[in-house]
Amino acid sequence: MKNRLKRLTHIIIILFGILSLRLSYLQLIRGARYARLSDRNRIRKIVLPAPRGRIYDRNGILLADTRPSFSITVIPTETNDSALTLLANIINLPLAELKRRLEPIVAFPSPVTIYRNADPATVARIQENNFRLSGVLIRIDPVRNYPYRELYAHVIGHLGEVTEEELVKDSTYRRMDYIGRTGVEASYEKVLRGKDGYEFVEVDARGREIGPLPEKRPEPPIPGKDVYLTIDHRLQQLAHELTKNYDRAAVIGISVKTGEIICLLSRPQFDPNIFLSTIDPTVWKSLVNNPSKPFYNRAISSGYPPGSTFKPLVALAALKDQVVTPTTNLLPCTGSFRYGNRTFRCWSAHGKLNLLGAIEQSCNVYFYQIGLRLSLDSLVEFCRRLNLGKPTGIDIPGESPGNIPSREYLDRRYGKGKWTRGTMLNFAIGQGEIMLTPLQLATLYSCIANEGYYYKPFLVSRIDSAGIQLKTTRPYRIDVPINKPDLGQVKKALTRVVEFGTGRAAQHGEITIAGKTGTAQNPPRPDHAWFVGYAPAEAPEVVFAVLVENAGHGGTVAAPIVGELIRAYFSYER
Amino acid sequence: MSVNRRQFDITLFVLTLVLVTIGLIAIYSTGGIRYLFRQAIFVPIGLAGLVILFLIPRRIIYGLTEPLYVLTLLLLLAVLFFGTGPGARRWFQIGSISLQPSEFAKIAVTLMLAKYLSYKREIKPNFASLAGPILIMVIPLLLILVEPDLSTALCLIPPFAAMLYWQGLRPLHILLLFTPFLSFAAGFSLYLWIPFFILLAIIVFVRMRFFRAIAALATSTVFGLLSPVVLSMLKDYQRTRIISFFAPWFDPHGMGWNAIQSQIAIGSGRLFGKGFLHGTQKRLGFLPNRHTDFIFSAIAEETGFIGSLLLLIVIGILIRRILLIAYNSRDQNASLIAIGFASILGYQTFVNIGMLLGLLPITGITLPFISYGGSSLLTCCLMIGIILNISARPE
């Protein structure tokens, strides 16, 4: 017992002895230095922001990088109200808002960013008033830069300032930091962001830096990783060029052998650079009030009735269920079809046709009759098999699943038993509640072109860090069970569409193109024009889907765009 | 009810009063009149508690041990659902005052452990003998851990270890009891784990039979390997959080800053200090939570080496005094209680001041008697009350 008491006492003496030794080291040996640090000088913690990773196209063309920009920072402990009032005046920010940005960190004598991307005139004014702006510093920070402006608005997306909720959720963000909001910037935020560094410096009473603090080694910022897109910049530019006369359009190009997205465009666009500095209110208003919704990614977020581009799929379903054969002739087309007490129209009087001819001429009457023979459940099941009615899984956010109306859906919408087989007539020509995104149509045709191999579409092919490859995206293939001879027949018909049928405007001399036009009704407004095509027809490499809203006939408006894109695709060196 | 005056440990009582007074002065200096007033409310409450615990027959305390322990567990459970606090649920808000049940858990666990160990009489390094005490300690520890409040949870370890030692368990066996968890915590970084492992290997091979030593090392290795596995399963930001929770010295952004500021404040106090109310670091608001966990930095800045050393000596004498009372007590239960309380006070003092001096990672732990906080002050007073009771008369 005595022994144990002694030992416990020794432990206490040793522990308190350690404290006393350290205390005497800090206060007696190092005391003079610490006294200097606390009296005349101060320590400042400076954040060294990490530059965001660069984004390249598939051939190494720089699509997003960072450029130096002026940030205005304030050290809360070294500033005063008159300086803040003057600053608020110079940067045209309400004083209350300025103070709010400084609020949670008042005790830290480290610079807090309060204004990003200041223009040279503002910087000059701050420097002129230097002596009246105590605690206000100008710093040069890396800030995002999109050299091609609106061209990649919907692929790369844009950045925005972190919200209070995000700050609470992830403490590694600081107020005023940027975070990816849409596109690749959002889905690859963790990869692109990098890690901020910091350093501690000693400053004198006037706030001038004396030097680094030996107690605390600086930690350099780690730049974000670089991202390579599957996009081909030349095609993207061409798509932009070809659609410039239309208000609302979407273009998608996919490599059918991998699922790589080689171009993705949605019109109207916006310049993502505007989010990186104080937004001009008139520009902002014109964007927000634009009825065409520039922030809306039509290529992936918007479902449209696919119109006649849906017919090849209906044909495949019909062949599978053996309700027709490729050579079956149904009732001749007289320009309309009567079912019950309703008349369903066709765009011309096609006369007697078989299935292949009906695809080639895009005859509605033929497909109305298929619709009557086909069961809804079987059609829905077939769509599901082709991954329609759910998101494709593309690696950017905001994708719409489209809509494949099942029996349950129709019951919910119209009431049980309230809908008739007339609905099926509409579905058979890609109208009614059927909705697909341009991306989904592109993947559907890529699956047809591949004869049953579905590739998940993706935008980022590679992640690099300082020139070293970190990660490469491997194509992800799903095998879709479809009868090969049926596919062969439909592909033959699609080739004939461009050769002799409604898609002649997509024709291109040397390379055979296969595809399908679509003119989707959108009452009371004008029709949407569709064309989805792949090439070369005999050994497909690439598929393009083009949608132009309210522009009329797919054959006239959309088909030539796809023709041009395919011509360009095969003319480029790869 | 008669109290033998000669047996009333007047020294211990005076030391307590001195520390509480120093605390009030320091709180006034760092937090101003508002915090002084709020803290001063707890002084009469604490002293009243102290006197009551001193006066009541000890068998009442013993009789209440189990109900108190169960009540503590219930409170710890309740605070998880009804508690408040920034980022964690630690406090009960009652009007303008807030109470932290984990503070009182220190007392309840010590009482419970002391009663259990004194009842068992003999303790051996085997499962049957240790399962009981471990369970008594671990249940409240886990409840405090999920609040989450690692530093307060760890306060339950020193009384546990000290009381087992007092009861005759060898230090080596107590050490082995904790090695798996130490190994897990050290496993966050290889630079930490390798020295830990070498040290452990030396100790076990010198002091234990070969196969037992191997078994002990293997267990530690498994736990050490487990921690990178656990870490790799988490997302980036979760990992950062876990690491900064268990090993705050890996988070240079938040913690490094406070540690530097605290060291500058202490160091700049030099031999005689800057004088009462004249601390500049403190005044500039550089010290975070300066009236709670960082209060010693302010004291050291204003009173210098002489003042801070004196404070250390006062606390040291107080702890030595409690150890003597434990030694002199014939009642084994009481003796164990005193050992437990002494280890709590010693541990908290060492960890709190050690972190401010830059010797230990910064975690939230109060300096006994001195730090702002009603629950902490009340807990300290109640402990002293029980010890005074123990010293005053035999049961």
The tens digit of pLDDT for each residue in B261-309 reads 788 889 888 898 888 877 766 655 555 566 778 889 989 999 999 999 9
DSSP alpha helix (H) spans, A180-280: 183-187, 189-193, 233-242
CA-nearest residue to A169 within chain B is: B237
B314 touches chain A (CB under 8 A): no
**A430 CA: distance to closest CA in chain B (Å):** 44
Q: Answer for the pair A306, A430: CB distance below 8 angstroms, yes or no.
A: yes
Can you give the pLDDT at residue B88? 67
Q: Do A27 and B267 touch (CB under 8 A)?
A: yes
pLDDT in tens, A204-242: 666 677 777 766 678 889 999 999 999 999 999 999 999
Q: How many CA atoms lie within 13 A of A509 on its CB side?
A: 2
| H-run or E-run covering A226 | strand A226-229
Yes or no: say if B369 and B346 are a contact pair by the CB < 8 Å rule: no
pLDDT, residue B48, reads: 96
- With cut-offs at 50, 70 and 90, classify the pLDDT of residue A81: confident
- A37 to chain B: nearest residue by CA? B264
Q: Tokens 């030396």 — which residue?
A: B202
Q: Does A195 touch chain B (CB under 8 A)?
A: no
Q: Which residue has the higher pLDDT, A285 or B32?
A: A285
Q: Is the pLDDT of residue B327 over 70?
A: yes
CB of A22 within 8 Å of any CB in chain B? yes
- A39 vs B165: CB contact, 8 Å cut-off? no
Confidence of residue B255 (pLDDT cuts 50, 70, 90): very low
Q: What is the pLDDT of residues A340-371, one digit of tens each?
A: 888 888 988 899 999 999 999 999 999 999 99
What is the rounded CA–CA span in Å between residue A529 and residue A552?
A: 5
| DSSP-derived secondary structure for A409-444 | HHHHHH-TT---THHHHHHHTT-TT-BB-HHHHHHH
The predicted-structure confidence for A479-507, as pLDDT tens digits, reads as follows 999 999 999 999 999 999 999 999 999 98
Average pLDDT over every residue of A151-177: 89
Q: Residue B260 and residue A2: Cβ atoms within 8 Å?
A: no
Cα–Cα separations (whole angstroms), residue B118 to A467, B110, B129, B333, B337: 68, 12, 13, 5, 10
Which of A11-25, A95-109, B76-90, B107-121 is predicted with the least confidence, judged by mean pLDDT? A95-109
Distance, CA of A182 to CA of B314 (rounded, Å): 62
What pLDDT was estimated at residue B141? Answer: 92
In angstroms, what separates the C-alpha of A74 from chain B's closest C-alpha? 16
CA A556 – CA A476 distance, rounded (Å): 35
pLDDT of residue A191: 94
Cα gap A477→A258, rounded to integer Å: 8
Q: Which of A2, A12, A23 sits opposite B309 (nearest CB)?
A: A23
Report CB contact under 8 Å: A35, B266: no
Q: Count interface pairs A-B at CB distance under 8 A.
A: 129
Q: With bands split at pLDDT 50, 70 and 90, how would you rate the model's confidence at B3?
A: very low
- Smallest Cβ–Cβ distance between B260 and the set A106, A190, A216 belongs to A216
Q: Is B304 on the interface with A (CB under 8 A)?
A: yes
Q: Choose the weakest-confidence range: A7-21, A82-96, A256-270, B336-350.
A: A82-96
pLDDT beyond 80 at A25:
yes
Residues from chain B that touch A172, judged by Cβ atoms under 8 A, are 237, 240
Q: A42: which 2 tokens? A: 């101060």
Question: Which pLDDT value is given to residue B236?
Answer: 63
CA angle A209–A210–A216, rounded 5-degree value? 95
- Chain A from 403 to 462: CB within 8 A of any B CB: none
Work out the burial of residue A164: count CB atoms within 10 Å of its CB; fewer than 13 is exposed, 13-18 middle, 19 or more buried: exposed
Q: What is residue B178's predicted lDDT score, i.e. its pLDDT? A: 85
Contact B114/A at CB under 8 A:
no
A167 touches chain B (CB under 8 A): no
B284 reaches A (C-beta below 8 A): yes
A contacts of B302 (beta carbons < 8 Å): none
Q: How far is A41 from chain B (nearest CA, A)?
A: 11
Cβ distance A31 to B267 less than 8 Å, yes or no, reads: yes
What is the pLDDT averaged over residues B87-113? 84
Active site residue A308: yes
- Choosing from A71, A110, A266, A308, the catalytic residue is A308
Rounded to the nearest 5°, which phi and psi values hold at A4?
Answer: -65, -40
Predicted pLDDT of residue B286:
56
**What percent of chain A is predicted at pLDDT more than 70?**
97
pTM higher than 0.90 for the full model?
no
Q: Is the Cβ–Cβ distance between B359 and A16 less than 8 Å?
A: no
| Per-residue model confidence (pLDDT) at position B256 | 60
CA gap A463, A472 in Å, rounded: 6
For residue A441, pLDDT beyond 50: yes
